[in-house]
Structure 1
């Protein structure tokens, strides 16, 4: 029974006005689900004046001819359930319009009741959402193609939100680590921390955690090498990079990352390093003859002097009468020369054993001034100005004073050699001292052309001199290391600086 409270035609006319005023394409139906009327907008869309029959001859709903055959049963069942339960109706479906084109519609219907709560009729509306559905489908297709493209990339790809929490792994990464993003999220509220804890090598976790957090805080790119557990349990080296996508104000929206396995590369580098070490050893052995010549040169001077003093002593003893006093002086000089030769041999031997001689508590400024006084005349003859800038109240150092003086002498002579091609009025060397934390630092600074390679220059047999052996700075660094110190170089705007850092006395373990 459609209505008993008013004339059917009058009732339908009133509902027709309501339907026509409904946003979109309005329609109505009787309580039993038969359609009552359609808005003018709906009629124009459908290309007719509305459905002429509540039911088709076969008892099916009249919208059967306007939907796809495979969709009709689903829509009809949904409409019957809504009518039977007097519940809201909402479906999305393809519907043929007046031009014969199928377009997507979103249809809604709600039961309308009288004051007693009795269902009087259904009021519905349909909205054309075809353009939105096509756009959504296009976006889904693009996303699908993008995922296919990302999965085809020969790398492990991921995305994270602005806080660094993983939001997507490509298929290769999921297979590599044996985990999916959803599985990580289910573990706890911090999937990034879980990812690091589960997949990264224990020795690399702190470093990765620290560097990633720094990038997340600053928005700067992140790159690193680390060991990661593969799904089969193997630890392999990978190299990873991560970049931020930012909005117009510079705020991070997402992070995009990619990584790749570099196990073979790391192993090759290790093998190459081993080969380099063997070659370096071979080079050292090949240079022993040249080194022997250098040592012989150093020893030959005191030995030549010893021979001269010995010959002089013999002459004084053959005099008639023998000149005992002069012969005694010659013998004393002979003994000093032999002692000097012995010191040269002993110190070279200790150096190659990486040992130092007797160490004492020394004032580094005194050692500097001793070398300064010794070399000042020699440098003056080369038109080189040498000056000092020594800090006061420096703590003492515990060193072999002679070896440290030899290092300083070598650094100063190298600086002087670097100034050979500099205009005479611009040649200068400054020796300065200072304390930084637990170290006493000596700097030898020159105004020369600088150093081409500030690290390689300390390697054995590397020299910038045509007649050099390339052993001086290598030996100097060895002396620094056996004193628990450091030696390094730095280029300045004009010239270069060499730094010798030694631990202060109270920071040194005295053996």
Structure 2
């Protein structure tokens, strides 16, 4: 067995910060590596003194998590930034494990902090690549919707021209029909707002933008996508049915990217039904609160479906059964949902067609507390 000096040398040789705290979470020991990195002595770090090294954006969330961990008496870990002696911040994975006595009571805590700055930088670079690919996929979807979007914009524009002509005619009458002209002007404003709304929705969905983590109402997000696709649904003779659960709780995520997934699933359903000749095309979009998975959105069609080989490979990058498809839509969609800690999968219907399922877990206290921090990280 190593003697006490040897054990001290061993602890100081560990690359990370080794520490211990009493049952109340007050730090009572921290190794030399901590001093080398922070410039903070053991005396300065004791108790809650170590928290002075935390990044201001991480301090509140970590301290709340630490209190919850002590109350639960379970092992845990948390990612936070710690200030180096020169003022720079680096990311660390902070782990804590309780030590219990023979009666099962927590008597102290042991922990270790590992530098993960390189990993975080690699993740950030990967996130930027994924965001760019997601944007390219949205642009590809825009091309497929050109005819429907043109129709959605041209309708109110045609109304504006007609109403403007009518208004001029009424004002030029003898005597001028002022009341009729005013009502026609109101219709012109309504049609102008309608066209502007279409453009606003398009810009929100297809513009290149940074990742934004926020509370998202899935019903509202899906409704906006469906509104944008109404022209495409009509053009393809698809009867739409929507069944949204009332009082659905919000999820934490990127609204635009989640809408991209919904958009892709509905467009795929339309294309699948286009292949199935001789059948009345029916699309069902539902949301429910699933106790196991959180918020569950499903897109059900009665189209051509798919075979077992396609089911196994459909989420692979560049795999496609379409003549003009790129094979990235479902792959990117699954990547987006997995980044939201959710699941995306497909099932064959008992009758005709298929159903794509998207499940996103409800936010935890820690995810809500760190949502602003995550947004700041990604957006720099």
TM-score w.r.t. the length of structure 1 is 0.37
